[in-house]
Structure 1
Amino acid sequence: MFERFTGPARQAVTRAQGEARALGSDRIGAEHLLLAILSDPGDPVAVLLARSGVDHAAARADVGRRAAGTVDGPALAAIGVDLAAVREAVESAFGEGALERRPPAERAPRRRPAFSPGARKVLELALREAIRLHQKEIATGHLLLGVLRAGEGPALDVLAAHGVDPAALRRDVEAGLGSSGGRAA
């Protein structure tokens, strides 16, 4: 299937691996594919996303926050969990800073991240979108259409958090793919 990918789409898939690693993930998710598309500000799809209010830095911060999760101290206290006591117990057993996320550079090297089921689904849906649009190549626009067609997941959550209307974005991406013959977008 990758032989059908345009150069920019291949580069996006490759950059998704770097995005996953940079965020400390051992799996490449659809959200990393979205970040990889956004990381090339010259890509027509990234330009379209920027016009919709989504840029790489904001989306990356959002993905990072979602991956890290948040601790709601007051909610835990309401059910009798003393967060400070938990932290103290963990640090006394495992050392100071045991609960802190270490930057990726401080972690032991890992094997190459594998594609999550969600990312594999997006890649398959990108192929289906290219076929549906009667285009021979899979471009970054098709990757984004695959994200949109997946219908759920962290990548769509990021788009929703930035106020993106998926139906409008789909129309805009399809229009861009139609005007470029599927090559550039």
Structure 2
Amino acid sequence: MFERFTKSAREAVTCAVGHAERANADSVTEEHLLLALLDLEGTRSSFAFASLGIDGRRASLEAALAEARRRGGLSQSDTDALTGLGIDVAEIVSRFEEAHGEGALQADCRSKRWWSGRRSFTPGAKSVLEKSLRIAPGRGDRSIGDEHILLALTVMPGVVAEVLAEHGAAHATVQRALFGEAAAS
């Protein structure tokens, strides 16, 4: 799979591993892939981020991701759905943190590292990479670029796609930024 990745896509994956290491996480997540794409310069994804104004709102994006981690990985739509059932997630998080300390509900995606000490990818991160493998040929591209990883992040359900959409980077807008108006229809 990795041999079909462009230099920038390989750099994104490598950088995602670095983000996981700096966060002392045992596994590479979708969030690490997004943060890695935000770090890239001079790439298709960096162009899309710049044209959508995401590059200037990184702190807000990271804060939204941190808040989702604090809620145990629940997306805002999950939280809203629970609120509709009469469950106050903010109150539950607050009480749990009172008893167990701040950040106690943060999703801990710990996995057993292989004997080599390398960080594994979570099922969600693997799904994003697999989806990018399907997006590229679907667009008629022979190789998988960082832009395909970004598009995969926008279509995979979960916190990262939701946070991107909240910041103006939904699938259709990213596609339009990358490939123009005709691509988004």
Cα deviation 1:28-87 (Å, max 9, x = unaligned): 1222111111111332312311332323443333323322348x99835x9xx5965x36
Moved more, 51-60 or 134-143: 51-60
Cα deviation 1:71-130 (Å, max 9, x = unaligned): x99835x9xx5965x36xxxxxxxxxxx367xxxxxxxx843211111111111111111
Task: Give me the whole-angstrom Cα distance separating, in 1, the residues matched to 2:17 and 2:96.
Answer: 38
TM-score by length of 1: 0.68
Q: Which of 73, 83, 91 matches 1:75?
A: 91
Question: Relative to 1, partners in 2 of residues 1:21 and 1:67: Cα closer, same or farther, differing over 3 Å?
Answer: farther
Contact residue 27 and residue 115 of structure 1 kept, 8 A? yes
Partner residue, 1:54: 54
Give unpaired runs (5+ residues) of structure 1.
Answer: 88-98, 102-109, 179-185
The structure 1 segments of at least 4 consecutive aligned residues displaced by more than 4 Å after TM superposition are 81-84
TM-score by length of 2: 0.68
Matched, 1:11 2:11: yes
Question: Which amino acid in the other structure matches residue 44 of structure 2?
Answer: P
Task: Give me the whole-angstrom Cα distance separating, in 1, the residues matched to 2:164 and 2:139.
Answer: 23
Q: State the shift of 1:162 in Å.
A: 1.3
Identity fraction in percent: 36
How many residue pairs match? The answer is 153
Question: Relative to 1, partners in 2 of residues 1:134 and 1:44: Cα closer, same or farther, differing over 3 Å?
Answer: closer
Partner residue, 1:166: 171
Q: Which of 109, 112, 132 matches 2:138?
A: 132
Matched, 1:147 2:163: no
Question: Which amino acid in the other structure matches residue 42 of structure 2?
Answer: G
Give unpaired runs (5+ residues) of structure 2.
Answer: 73-87, 104-112
Q: State the shift of 1:153 in Å.
A: 1.2
Question: Which amino acid in the other structure matches residue 153 of structure 2?
Answer: V
Contact residue 161 and residue 170 of structure 2 kept, 8 A? no
Q: Secondary structure at the match of 1:25?
A: coil
Question: Relative to 1, partners in 2 of residues 1:136 and 1:162: Cα closer, same or farther, differing over 3 Å?
Answer: same
Q: Secondary structure at the match of 1:142?
A: helix
Question: Relative to 1, partners in 2 of residues 1:44 and 1:83: Cα closer, same or farther, differing over 3 Å?
Answer: closer
